[in-house]
């Protein structure tokens, strides 16, 4: 495993972070709590020290599963969670944090993130200054150790950073979803803000496991992912056909190739979601895969077969 400093904080995070949206069950199908706990422990055994969750994942279920799974090793792990976009007033943030602390069975959260900017999903706008005041208070009290943003544009990030130190940005980022490169990435690199790439395997697509005629079960939100829509899906399959021999030559899986590509970027870690112990262990091993300049150039060209046809909308789903 590789380790990076989180932003300007003193926290050390693993370059592969385990994502636990799946653990919340809602919007996924066939998730089993015992299997999830096994996946979390497998990630830990494989060297992952950093885990990402959110109050919104299954209304706290993901946080509760994670807290229970890691309570005996709390001092060895870094826990990142998020407050949702509809709870960004000062008192709401304080209340949400206390709830997350309880769910996670801990008295401090390492990284507390604003999940989506205020006003997202038609919600009411709260000035970011007010939300940051709550975050700063929680930090001064030792209840959180670092502050991060998720799904923020560069402009929104710059605005938030006026009101307190921001240590991370969590955007969608994979070989097939590269909007952050043209927006916040350079600002993050220049300002020591760590990029925590979510959906780094394009929600499983980059593992090559979904064939040309794949249909998700009812209730699996991935059917709303724009990469899975017919206008993009054929190009995705063509790109995967070209990525496969590269992975084979390196003796790695397609998913590991996709994660290693994300990790090849400066100040960037990958939040890999997993539902099973096998997936979690394979994903952790991607931290040991290094890609040559030649391979990176080839992958860049292949990724553009998909990304050149995407519009400017940085949100991956049509909810
Ligand atoms: N901030 C945000 O708004 C936001 C949004 C999305 C995600 N996230 C965070 O980022 C994490 C990761 O994103 P994500 O789950 O959307 O996408 P992802 O990590 O790109 O893909 C995860 C999915 O890929 C499949 N997979 C994972 N490892 C695999 C392996 N080794 N072999 C084969 N298949 C594998 C699994 O699909 P199956 O379930 O079909 O097995 C898994 O559910 C989330 O858990 C969450 O913590 C944050």
- What does the pLDDT read at residue 319? 82
Cβ 113 under 6 angstroms from ligand 1? no
* Bridge pairing between strands 12-14 and 168-170: unpaired
Q: Which residues of 258-295 are buried (b: 16+ CB within 10 A; e: fewer)?
A: bbbbbbbbebbbbbbbbbebebbbbbbbbbebebeeeb
Nearest to 113 by CA among 140, 88, 78, 150: 150
Q: Is the pLDDT of residue 279 over 90?
A: yes
Q: Is the pLDDT of residue 122 over 90?
A: no
Residue nearest to atom 29 of ligand 1 (CA): 279
Using pLDDT thresholds of 50, 70 and 90, give the confidence band for residue 123.
Answer: confident
Q: Where in the sequence numbering do the catalytic residues fall?
A: 57
2 C-alpha to ligand 1 centroid (Å): 20
Express each pLDDT in 91-116 by its tens digit: 999 999 999 999 999 999 999 999 99
Cβ 21 under 6 angstroms from ligand 1? yes
Q: What is the pTM of this model?
A: 0.97
């Amino acid at each position: 495993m590789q380790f990076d400093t989180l932003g300007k904080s003193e926290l050390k995070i693993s370059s592969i972070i385990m994502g636990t949206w799946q653990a919340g069950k809602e919007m996924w199908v066939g998730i089993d709590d015992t299997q999830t706990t096994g996946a979390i422990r497998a990630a830990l055994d494989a060297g992952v020290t950093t885990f990402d969750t959110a109050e919104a994942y299954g209304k706290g279920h993901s946080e509760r599963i994670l807290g229970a799974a890691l309570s005996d090793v709390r001092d060895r792990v870094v826990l990142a969670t998020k407050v949702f976009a509809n709870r960004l007033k000062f008192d709401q943030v304080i209340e949400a944090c206390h709830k997350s602390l309880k769910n996670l069975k801990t008295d401090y959260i390492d990284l507390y993130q604003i999940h989506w900017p205020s006003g997202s999903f038609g919600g009411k706008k709260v000035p970011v200054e007010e939300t940051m005041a709550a975050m700063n208070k929680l930090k001064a009290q030792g209840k959180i150790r670092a502050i991060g943003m998720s799904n923020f544009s560069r402009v929104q990030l710059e605005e938030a950073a006026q009101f307190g130190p921001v240590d991370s940005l969590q955007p969608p980022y994979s070989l097939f979803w590269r909007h952050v490169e043209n927006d916040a990435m350079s600002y993050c690199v220049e300002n020591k803000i760590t990029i925590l790439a979510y959906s780094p395997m394009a929600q499983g697509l980059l593992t090559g496991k979904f064939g040309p005629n794949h249909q998700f079960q009812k209730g699996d939100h991935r059917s709303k992912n724009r990469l899975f829509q017919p206008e993009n899906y054929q190009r995705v399959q063509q790109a995967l056909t070209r990525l496969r021999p590269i992975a084979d030559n390196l003796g790695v899986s397609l998913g590991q190739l996709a994660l290693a590509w994300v990790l090849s970027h400066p100040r960037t870690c990958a939040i890999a979601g997993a539902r099973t112990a096998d997936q979690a262990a394979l994903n952790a091993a991607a931290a040991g895969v290094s890609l040559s300049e030649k391979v990176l150039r080839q992958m860049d060209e292949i990724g553009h077969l998909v990304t050149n046809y995407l519009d400017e909308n940085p949100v991956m789903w049509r909810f």
